[in-house]
Amino acid sequence: MSRIPEQILEDIQQRLDIVEIVSSYIPLKRAGRNFKACCPFHHEKTGSFIVSPDKQIFHCFGCGVGGDVFSFLMKYERMEFPEAVKMLADKAGIDFVQEKTKDSSQVDSVSKVLYEVNELAALYFQHILVKDSQAGIARKYLSGRGLTPESIKRFRLGFAGAQWDGLVLFLRKKGISDALLVRSGVALKSSQGKVYDRFRNRVMFPIFNHRGKIIGFGGRILESTDTGGPKYVNSPETEIYKKSKTLYGFNFSKEFVSKQNYCVVVEGYLDFIIPFQAGMKNLVASSGTAFTIDHIRLIKRYTSNLVIVFDADDAGREAALRSLDPLIEEGMNVRIVNLEPGFDPDSWVRAKGAEGFSRSIDAAKNLFDFKLGLLLDRFKRDVPEEKAQIAHEMLSTIKKVSNAVIRASYIKKLSETINVPEEALLAELQKVKVSVAYERKRDDSYNQGVTNVSSAAEKMLLSLMFENEKFISQGKESISCDEFKDPTIKKITKYLYEAKEATAPVTILSKVNDPEVKSFISSLLVADLGINDQQKSFDDCVRKIKKDAVKMQITMIQKDINRAAQDDGDTEKLHGLYKRFHLLKKELKIYEEGN
Ligand SMILES: [Zn+2]
């Protein structure tokens, strides 16, 4: 249960429209009374994601996730509940100061401390870089790489000195425990239990999340102090730093990405900073990790157009190209820039200026042409076997394109280039298996549980109570919570019965924490009942549920009777059971005749 005043939640829900909030993240199409989209939480080609403006909820019939506007934000932005409330309250223009209570969730407070530790560490490294005499070589290195003082400040670059415990001592003085130092990744623990700095003799690049908070560091060794360590040392993954979700620099660049409607993907920190400083600001650095669905979703909120700067050598090219498959599957429009051998964006901008870089970007080829170019270099298109090889490689890419028009035009182009009839390519395309390299995990946890055991009548009854409050008071009179078989429905009904005032279904959602229950409620809420005579359905459902409950009791009594008869003796008990048995039979008859 939340510790945020209910009034606040209700105010927020009243002022905001879930349709507006959701459509600021994903495009919604009107479908009758509701809105539809492809679900952002599982991979699909046809939309099973419904947003209901009447009920102010969303639900996906594909993966089962659902809930109110708060749940949507929590899931989409990966926020904790209070964070989502805060963001929506701001949007709604509602002021509230969150009370700090002891029962705030553990995860919440750990993340908070980890952010603090990283922030303090960044301040420490920044201070060393600017003030410490041993950082002279680092300052020289950075200015030699063309970094302006403004960039050093903006990207909060720092330096970790040679000392083994400089940062550790600093953070201990700030009251950070050794356990947290290690947990945050800025320190390590030796086998003797000694805690020491992870980064030494390195230029420090803080890694930001897309909201601009520091979540980790990349430390680059300086040639002059090189003692044989790796070129880069990075923070390990922690509660707040996940590589699969982090894109370096996006907090600085997202508004420019949105404005220019494309995003240039580079690799390293300096590949980001140098062009950014030169005025090419719609960038993001992948830090060498392959694109994950989380990365793609993050970028997709701002643009669907990507330009990848490719610096793989010949050997690494095809693997690198294959790592772009998820982008195609997600419908991103991908173009590729191939810089001259030996250059990366950093050195390219220093050599050719921002205009030179931007010219190369204008000349970027789309992924299809780029890949075809590579294959034509490698295989001879007049040798049948090699021609087949080219076709096979290209078709595996084409297969992943979901847009039929784009697909058709690629087929046509491939057909012309290697001189093979389109029909033959289409036949081959059928045979291409979609690789499993990028199979999304479905959230199966949402698909199990509640719905299996609940009878249709129980669900229907609950839907009716959500639809019209008069059925809640009728329900209170005619059927008790215990008569419901499904534990979830029992719980929700109990809540409805006990609520002091009539509660809007959507408010119930904000009180539920269990995602399964949330999903269950939202599925009931979006389902179009399509009933004309609701009163009759209500009566039918009540009768059916009661009938089932009685039937179950009868079965149980029959078992008791058998047992008591075997024990032979307790005639009084047996007599009582029979009496009860006949009463139940009579009751059952009433329900059955009512049908
Ligand atoms: Zn879904």
The 8-class DSSP code of residue 49 comes to E
Residue 563 belongs to domain with CATH number = 1.10.860.10
State mean pLDDT over 376-387: 88
Question: How remote is the CA of residue 192 from the centroid of ligand 1, in Å?
Answer: 49
Q: Give the pLDDT score at 503.
A: 63
Band of residue 250 on the pLDDT scale cut at 50, 70, 90: very high
Q: Give the pLDDT score at 312.
A: 59
Residue 514 backbone zone (phi > 0: left; psi -120 to 50: alpha; other: beta): beta
Tens digit of pLDDT for each residue in 404-455?
Answer: 888 899 999 999 999 999 999 998 888 876 543 333 333 332 233 333 334 6
> Taking the mean position of all CA atoms in its chain, how far away is CA 395?
30
Question: How remote is the CA of residue 60 from the centroid of ligand 1, in Å?
Answer: 5
The DSSP bridge partners found for residue 265 are: 284, 308
Last residue of a domain, one of 367, 399, 415: 367
Question: How remote is the CA of residue 48 from the centroid of ligand 1, in Å?
Answer: 7
Q: Are residues 470 and 562 in the same domain?
A: yes
Q: Would 98 be classed as within a structural domain? A: no
Q: Are residues 133 and 73 in the same domain?
A: no
State mean pLDDT over 286-292: 78
Q: Are residues 410 and 471 in the same domain?
A: no
* Structure tokens, 7: 């009034």
Q: Are residues 175 and 197 in the same domain?
A: yes
Q: Give the pLDDT score at 502.
A: 61
Question: How remote is the CA of residue 166 from the centroid of ligand 1, in Å?
Answer: 48
Question: How remote is the CA of residue 253 from the centroid of ligand 1, in Å?
Answer: 29
Question: How remote is the CA of residue 503 from the centroid of ligand 1, in Å?
Answer: 27
Question: How remote is the CA of residue 43 from the centroid of ligand 1, in Å?
Answer: 7
Spatial separation of the C-alpha atoms in residues 268 and 346, rounded to whole Å: 9
Question: How remote is the CA of residue 494 from the centroid of ligand 1, in Å?
Answer: 29
Cβ pair 233, 216 in contact under 8 A: no
Question: How remote is the CA of residue 70 from the centroid of ligand 1, in Å?
Answer: 17
Q: What are the CA-CA distances from residue 72 to residues 282, 301, 328 (Å)?
A: 28, 15, 26
Question: How remote is the CA of residue 416 from the centroid of ligand 1, in Å?
Answer: 39
Q: Would 116 be classed as within a structural domain? A: yes
Spatial separation of the C-alpha atoms in residues 76 and 70, rounded to whole Å: 10
Q: Would 103 be classed as within a structural domain? A: no
Q: Would 32 be classed as within a structural domain? A: yes
Last residue of a domain, one of 413, 438, 463: 438
Spatial separation of the C-alpha atoms in residues 202 and 269, rounded to whole Å: 14
Spatial separation of the C-alpha atoms in residues 134 and 23, rounded to whole Å: 52
Q: Give the pLDDT score at 314.
A: 61
Residue 377 backbone zone (phi > 0: left; psi -120 to 50: alpha; other: beta): alpha
Q: Are residues 84 and 157 in the same domain?
A: no
Question: How remote is the CA of residue 303 from the centroid of ligand 1, in Å?
Answer: 21
Question: How remote is the CA of residue 20 from the centroid of ligand 1, in Å?
Answer: 19
Q: Are residues 576 and 482 in the same domain?
A: yes
Q: Would 330 be classed as within a structural domain? A: yes
Q: Would 372 be classed as within a structural domain? A: no
The set of residues, in sequence order, having a beta carbon less than 8 Å from that of 74 and lying 6+ positions away, is 80, 81, 83, 84
* Structure tokens, 411: 């087929």
Q: Are residues 169 and 218 in the same domain?
A: yes
The number of distinct structural domains making up the chain is 5
Q: Would 99 be classed as within a structural domain? A: no
Question: How remote is the CA of residue 37 from the centroid of ligand 1, in Å?
Answer: 10
Residue 266 belongs to domain with CATH number = 3.40.1360.10
The residue ranking higher by pLDDT, 399 or 567, is 399
Q: Are residues 429 and 472 in the same domain?
A: no
Domain holding 566, by residue range, is 450-593
Cβ pair 548, 482 in contact under 8 A: no
**Sign of the C-alpha dihedral, residues 415, 419, 421, 425?**
negative
Residue 167 belongs to domain with CATH number = 3.90.980.10
Decide if pLDDT at 506 tops 70: no
* Structure tokens, 320: 């690198």
Question: How remote is the CA of residue 445 from the centroid of ligand 1, in Å?
Answer: 12
Which of 122-136, 289-303, 342-356, 423-437 bottoms out in mean pLDDT, i.e. has the lowest?
423-437
Q: Are residues 233 and 250 in the same domain?
A: no
Question: How remote is the CA of residue 514 from the centroid of ligand 1, in Å?
Answer: 17
The beta strands (E) that lie in 292-354 are given as: 305-310, 333-338
Question: How remote is the CA of residue 341 from the centroid of ligand 1, in Å?
Answer: 43
State mean pLDDT over 245-272: 91
Q: Are residues 153 and 210 in the same domain?
A: yes
Q: How many CB atoms lie within 10 A of CB 5?
A: 12
SS (H, E, C) 411-424: HHHHHHHHCCCHHH
State mean pLDDT over 79-91: 87
Question: How remote is the CA of residue 515 from the centroid of ligand 1, in Å?
Answer: 13
Q: What are the CA-CA distances from residue 560 to residues 468, 523, 556, 589 (Å)?
A: 41, 39, 6, 21
Q: What are the CA-CA distances from residue 565 to residues 52, 167, 579 (Å)?
A: 57, 79, 15
Decide if pLDDT at 135 tops 50: yes
Spatial separation of the C-alpha atoms in residues 268 and 248, rounded to whole Å: 8
- In the chain, what are the helix, strand and coil shares in percent, each to the nearest 5? 55, 10, 35
Q: Would 215 be classed as within a structural domain? A: yes
Decide if pLDDT at 101 tops 50: no
> Taking the mean position of all CA atoms in its chain, how far away is CA 270?
28
Band of residue 244 on the pLDDT scale cut at 50, 70, 90: confident
Q: Give the pLDDT score at 278.
A: 92
The 8-class DSSP code of residue 48 comes to -
Residue 16 belongs to domain with CATH number = 3.90.580.10
**Sign of the C-alpha dihedral, residues 405, 408, 414, 417?**
negative
Question: How remote is the CA of residue 509 from the centroid of ligand 1, in Å?
Answer: 18
Question: How remote is the CA of residue 84 from the centroid of ligand 1, in Å?
Answer: 20
Residue 291's nearest CA partner among 438, 396, 78 is 438
Question: How remote is the CA of residue 41 from the centroid of ligand 1, in Å?
Answer: 5
The continuous run of DSSP H or E covering 104 comes out as none
Q: Give the pLDDT score at 124.
A: 97
Last residue of a domain, one of 367, 401, 427: 367
Question: How remote is the CA of residue 271 from the centroid of ligand 1, in Å?
Answer: 36
Question: How remote is the CA of residue 447 from the centroid of ligand 1, in Å?
Answer: 10
The residue ranking higher by pLDDT, 436 or 172, is 172
Q: Residue for token digits 């959230």?
A: 443
Question: How remote is the CA of residue 328 from the centroid of ligand 1, in Å?
Answer: 19
Cβ pair 185, 204 in contact under 8 A: no
Q: Give the pLDDT score at 188.
A: 94
Question: How remote is the CA of residue 187 from the centroid of ligand 1, in Å?
Answer: 40
Please, which contacts does 162-166 make with residues 24 or more away whose CB atoms are closer than 8 Å? 162/134, 162/200, 162/201, 162/225, 163/197, 163/200, 164/196, 164/197, 164/200, 165/195, 165/196, 165/197, 166/124, 166/128, 166/197
Q: Are residues 488 and 355 in the same domain?
A: no
Q: Give the pLDDT score at 551.
A: 85
Q: Are residues 143 and 217 in the same domain?
A: yes
Q: Give the pLDDT score at 529.
A: 66
The residue ranking higher by pLDDT, 550 or 310, is 550
% of the chain with per-residue pLDDT over 90: 30
